[in-house]
Amino acid sequence: MEGLKNLSKEQLHKILAALVLSDGHLYKHKGKPRSIRLSTSHFGEDQHRLFRYLCYELFGKDIKTRKSTAPSSKQRLLISTFNSVKFVPTLYSLCPEYNTTPGKLSKAEFLKIPQPNLQFILNETKELQWLFLRTYFDFDGSISPSIKLKHKLDKKGQRVYEYYQVQFECEIKISETNPSLVKDLILLCTQLGLSAKMKRDNRNWSEISGICITQRESVRKFLDQGGPITKVKVSGKSNRFKGISKIKICKFLNKLIQDEKIIWSKSFSNKNDALEYQEKVNKFLVKLIKKE
């Protein structure tokens, strides 16, 4: 949170908007905005510190935090709430809406009403834009380093050669199903010199799952900025990196990507040899990250 210390209240307001749009929820009572709630796994303790910091710096009021357990998954949760009929409505000076999904409305009905957008950040300084994107990634983002196996065909003259390529890949993803927000997130990435693409998932209401950054130079540029804005730890959704801070993973991968001695891909004529090598390198990668 060091990068927030020198921001004005107007700028901090935009960071709070990133928190609410990504993983928060703005509640209304009888049509009037009255509270913001943040619910995360117990690994998100530092995210609640950020929420507390923003509310206190902006409004001079504290949040209320409690522990809970999800009934179905039995996952341990942290739930923080900021209540204020005076201050919560000020967020609407930045964005016309904070509901990002249809809820009880049909998809068609929802898309007819004013949609949330990120126009309020697109004309800001690059410094603030980076802090905004890192905040969004902190709450709704993931980074997935992996060793992929790909079946390749290489034609030379009249002959076709079959081989298997094992290569390192790294995907930075921000989960978001709202089409308007996805469009603006891609535009924000473009303004910051990042190559980002929409990622689709037919299981979601919009058939969109978010944006992803896979091009190596863009991944490196993002990691150079430091990754997440807090020291949030990876939740139980990831078996490989559960309990490890996202920022630690990002720092290690940034160092790895910049190491010119690393061989990023290796080819094999035999699939079993390729699979064996893939498993070996994957285990080694996870071991290095946990050790870092």
What is the bridge-based pairing of β-strands 159-175 and 208-213?
antiparallel
Mean pLDDT of 56-61: 97
Is-same-fold flag (2-99; 136-291)?
A: yes
Does 127 have pLDDT greater than 70?
Answer: yes
Structural domain boundaries in the chain: 2-99, 136-291
**Topology adopted by domain 136-291:** Endonuclease I-creI (3.10.28)
Tokens 């949170």, located at residue = 1
Q: pLDDT band at residue 133, thresholds of 50, 70 and 90?
A: very high
If you average pLDDT over every residue of the chain, what do you get?
Answer: 93
Provide φ and ψ at 65, rounded to 5°. -120, 135
pLDDT single digits (tens) 180-216: 999 999 999 999 999 999 999 999 999 999 999 999 9
How far, in Å, CA of 133 to CA of 123, rounded?
A: 14
- Domain 2-99 annotated CATH 3.20.20.70: no
Helix orientation angle between 246-257 and 216-224, rounded to the nearest 10 degrees: 130
pLDDT single digits (tens) 233-281: 998 777 788 889 999 999 999 998 888 777 789 999 999 999 999 999 9
Q: 252, 268 in Cβ contact below 8 A? A: no
What percent of the chain has pLDDT above 70?
A: 99
Does 9 have pLDDT greater than 70?
Answer: yes
How far, in Å, CA of 148 to CA of 241, rounded?
A: 18
Question: Which residues have C-beta within 8 Å of that of residue 207, sequence separation ≥ 6?
Answer: 200, 201
Q: pLDDT band at residue 75, thresholds of 50, 70 and 90?
A: confident
pTM: 0.92
What is the bridge-based pairing of β-strands 159-175 and 141-156?
antiparallel
Q: For the chain, where are the E strands, in sequence order?
A: 24-29, 32-41, 64-69, 76-83, 141-156, 159-175, 197-200, 208-213, 265-268
pLDDT single digits (tens) 16-51: 999 999 999 999 988 899 999 999 999 999 999 999
pLDDT single digits (tens) 159-181: 888 999 999 999 999 999 999 99
Question: How far are the Cα atoms of 82, 145, 252, 262, 285 from residue 259, in angstroms, in the given order?
Answer: 45, 15, 11, 6, 14
Q: In this predicted structure, what is the pLDDT of residue 292? A: 67
Which tops the pLDDT comparison, 187 or 74?
Answer: 187
**3-state SS assignment for residue 252:** helix
Q: pLDDT band at residue 118, thresholds of 50, 70 and 90?
A: very high
Q: 168, 157 in Cβ contact below 8 A? A: no
Q: In this predicted structure, what is the pLDDT of residue 23? A: 94
Does 65 have pLDDT greater than 90?
Answer: yes
The DSSP secondary structure of 124-167, one letter per residue, reads S-HHHHHHHHHHHHHHHEEEEEEEEEEEEEEEETTEEEEEEEEE
